[in-house]
A and B are shown apart, each in its own frame.
Chain A
Amino acid sequence: MNNIVEFKGVTKHLKDFSIKDINLQIKQGYVTGFIGANGAGKSTTMKLMMNLLKADEGDINVFGMDYASNEKEIKERMGFVYDSNVFYESLNLKDIRRIVAPAYKNWDDKQFYDYIKKFELPLNKGIKTFSKGMQMKASLAIALSHEAEFIMMDEPTAGLDPVFRRELLDILQEIMKDGRRTLFFSTHITSDLERIADYITFIQKGKILFTDSMEDVQDRYALVKGNMDVINRDIEKMFIKIERSSYGFTALTNDVAGIKAVLGNRVSMEPATLEDIMFYAKGAERQYV
Chain B
Amino acid sequence: MFNLIKKDFFIQKTQIGLLVPIIMIFAIFIENIHPAFIFLIASVFIPLNAYIFDQQSKSNILLNSLPYTRKEIVAARYIGAIVYMILSIALAGVILYVFQFDYTMSDVAIAAGLFCLIAAFAFPLFYFLKAEYIFIAAFIGFIVSTIILPPVFRFLAAHLTTITDFITSLSIATLYLSGAAIAIGLYLISWVVSQLIYQRKVF
Tell me the A residues contacting B by CB distance below 8 Å.
Answer: 14, 47, 50-53, 71-73, 75-76, 78, 80, 82, 84-91, 95, 98-100, 102-104
With a cutoff of 8 Å between Cβ atoms, the chain A residues found around residue B64 in the complex are 50-52
Pairwise interchain contact B62-A86, C-beta atoms closer than 8 A: yes
Q: Chain A CB within 10 Å — which of B6, B66, B202 has the most?
A: B66
In angstroms, Cα B203 to Cα A80, docked, is 15
19 contacts between A and B (CB under 8 A): A47-B203, A50-B64, A52-B203, A71-B67, A71-B69, A72-B69, A76-B67, A82-B58, A84-B58, A87-B57, A87-B62, A88-B53, A89-B57, A95-B10, A95-B13, A98-B6, A100-B66, A102-B3, A102-B6
Which residues from chain B contact A75 at a C-beta distance below 8 Å?
A: 65-68
Whether the pair B203, A88 counts as a contact (CB closer than 8 A) is no
Docked pose: A85 CA to B3 CA in angstroms? 21
Task: Give the distance to chain B from A284, nearest Cβ to Cβ, in Å.
Answer: 31
State A47–B61 Cα separation when bound (angstroms).
9
The 5 closest A-B pairs by CB, nearest first: A75-B67, A102-B3, A86-B62, A103-B66, A52-B203
B145 within 8 A of A: no
**Are the CB atoms of B65 and A52 closer together than 8 Å?**
yes
In contact, A103 and B61 (Cβ under 8 angstroms): no
- Interface size band for B: 20 to 34
Establish whether residues A53 and B59, one from each chain, have CB atoms under 8 Å apart when the complex forms.
no
CB-based contact A86/B202 at 8 Å = no
B10 neighbours in A (Cβ, 8 Å):
91, 95, 98-99
Q: Which residues of A contact B13 (CB under 8 A)?
A: 95
Tell whether B11 is near chain A: CB-to-CB under 8 Å: yes
> Could you tell me the distance in whole angstroms from the C-beta of B71 to the nearest C-beta in chain A?
9
Which of chain A's residues have a CB closer than 8 A to the CB of B11? 88, 90-91, 95, 99
Question: How far, in angstroms, from A53 to B6 measured CA to CA in the complex?
Answer: 26
How many angstroms from the CA of A85 to the CA of B59 in the assembled complex? 9
How long is the Cα–Cα vector from A14 to B203 in the complex, in angstroms?
A: 11
| Complex alpha-carbon distance, A254 and B69, angstroms | 44
Write the chain B residue with the least CB distance to A76: B67
By a CB distance below 8 angstroms, the chain A residues around B59 are: 86-88
Chain B residues with CB under 8 A of A88: 11, 53, 57, 59, 62
- Within 8 Å CB of B68, what residues of A? 72, 75, 103
Which of A76, A84, A99 has the most chain B CB within a 10 Å cutoff? A99
> In the assembled complex, how far is the CB of residue B26 from the closest CB belonging to chain A, in whole angstroms?
26
